[in-house]
Amino acid sequence: MTLVEFVQLKPEQREAFDADGFLVVRDALNSETVRQLTEAGDRLAESFLNKPVVMDRAEYNHLDLRPGLLEETTMLSLVSNPSTVSLVLQLLSPNIHLHSTALIYKRPEDPSGVPFRRGWHRDIRIPRDLGHQNLPRVGIKICYCLTDFRQPASGMTLMARGSHLRRAPLIVRKGEIDPQDVEVSDLKLNAGDALLFENRIFHTAAPNRSDRVSKVLMYGYAYRWMKPEVYLDVPNQRYLQKADPIARQLIGEYRDIDTPPWALEEWAKRHHVHPEPVPWTVEN
């Protein structure tokens, strides 16, 4: 896939993303692409999928595989998926690259099992250094659904709607697992849909109480001055040889942040979505 195809971010999509901290993109992938990605994902997850059944051990039933995804040709080409990456570019800027990759599978757990402790968090650990006040938006993850998520509690990541603007930690009452004063969204999505969410939104993994394995791929994009996760730090030359200039930027070939990101800047100019330049000084 290449970014030859341009998808305009609609004003109402921008408003929804700014207000909620996330955005659903329906039918971001066609069924053939979902099939190919699932085949590749199942290959990578083979030993996880073949483990004996043990209910009610979240960590045992949850796979979060990060390195090695781009070895799969379909997962490599997903890095430039036009229907989603076009939108991420317009929400951040052309100065971005791939920051993380994850294949997340959750096996079914006992539907009547006790609720388990959540892992509510904001991404990239930025609040550990900057606190919760005045956090910037610096990255967006694209969660691609490889299975349907039509029933509640079927393994979709939970989002605390609007919590990206929160200036304090979440408040969870003693003995409870979810925060009190925010709307917890368990989104109903179909295979092929994508969920975009930004780094500041509080979100958590949740158990899969359905009777099928839940499957998603999550690709995180961030400004080029953000160091990617360690397994993407040095781009593999084999990936770069197969890539066009835009994919090369996204995979991380443009390492000098003082050099402009030509490939995506030109793309943004061509489609009239290049942000206004920000000067260092202005004449008074």
Ligand X SMILES: O=C(O)CCC(=O)C(=O)O
Give CA separation, 7 vs 3, 87, 97, 243, 266, in Å: 9, 7, 18, 21, 15
- Residue 232 in the binding site for ligand X (CB under 6 A): no
Which residue do the tokens 């590749």 mark?
A: 40
- Residue 104 in the binding site for ligand X (CB under 6 A): yes
Smallest separation (angstroms) from ligand X to the CB of 66: 9
Instruction: Please count the other Cβ atoms lying within 10 Å of the Cβ belonging to residue 150.
Output: 12
Smallest separation (angstroms) from ligand X to the CB of 139: 11
- Residue 163 in the binding site for ligand X (CB under 6 A): no
**Closer to ligand X by Cβ: residue 182 or 273:** 182
- Select from 157, 163, 199, 208 the one that contacts ligand X (CB under 6 A): 157
Give CA separation, 34 vs 90, 153, 207, in Å: 25, 22, 23
Smallest separation (angstroms) from ligand X to the CB of 220: 8
| Ramachandran angles phi, psi of 219, nearest 5° | -115, 120
Those residues whose C-beta lies under 8 Å from the C-beta of residue 82, and which sit 6 or more positions away, are: 1, 2, 3, 4, 5, 6, 7
- Select from 75, 205, 250, 251 the one that contacts ligand X (CB under 6 A): 205
- Select from 195, 218, 246, 264 the one that contacts ligand X (CB under 6 A): 218
What are the structure tokens assigned to 224, written together?
A: 């080029």
- Residue 203 in the binding site for ligand X (CB under 6 A): yes
**Closer to ligand X by Cβ: residue 72 or 123:** 123
What is the pattern of x (binds ligand X, CB under 6 A) and - over residues 53-92?
-----------x----------------------------
Q: Which helix (H) or strand (E) holds 50?
A: none
Binding residues (CB under 6 A) for ligand X: these are 64, 102, 104, 123, 157, 203, 205, 218
